[in-house]
Amino acid sequence: MYDNGQGLSIRAISRELNISRNTVKKYLAMDAQGICVMMEDTSRQKWLDGYRDYLINQLKDYPKLSAVKLMRRLCRKVGKLPISERSMRRYVQNLKAEVAVGQYRYYEPIIETVPGV
């Protein structure tokens, strides 16, 4: 996209990919092998991944449970957490999307009738 200055500008690339201009600059400064190494490294984990099963079980038992209440329950279980409340909300939001996908929805056919009857 950049083509050594002959293609799109950094700002246009950031808009196209919906990422920060600083991120575009970082990747443009790297060589192709450095980018491949960075993309292959999947060792990065989130702090809450260790409690993922507990949070999923809580969400399955209580699907309407808020992230704040989940954080309180987790704090009671393990003590003080080194994360912010906003980080917990983001993590729970992603978990709720995964748990909701796995839930079964029951559909019942509607018998064709005259409207209002």
pLDDT over 60 at 13, yes or no: yes
For tokens 């443009």, the residue is: 28
pLDDT tens-digit map of 17-70: 888 999 888 888 888 888 788 777 777 778 888 888 999 888 888 888 888 999
Q: Would you say 67 and 93 are in contact if contact means Cβ atoms under 8 Å apart?
A: yes
pLDDT over 80 at 115, yes or no: no
Q: Would you say 99 and 60 are in contact if contact means Cβ atoms under 8 Å apart?
A: yes
pLDDT tens-digit map of 62-108: 888 888 999 999 999 888 888 888 989 999 998 888 776 555 667 77
Distance between CA atoms of 20 and 56, rounded to whole angstroms?
32
pTM: 0.53
> Of 9, 82, 7, which Cα lies nearest the Cα of 47?
82
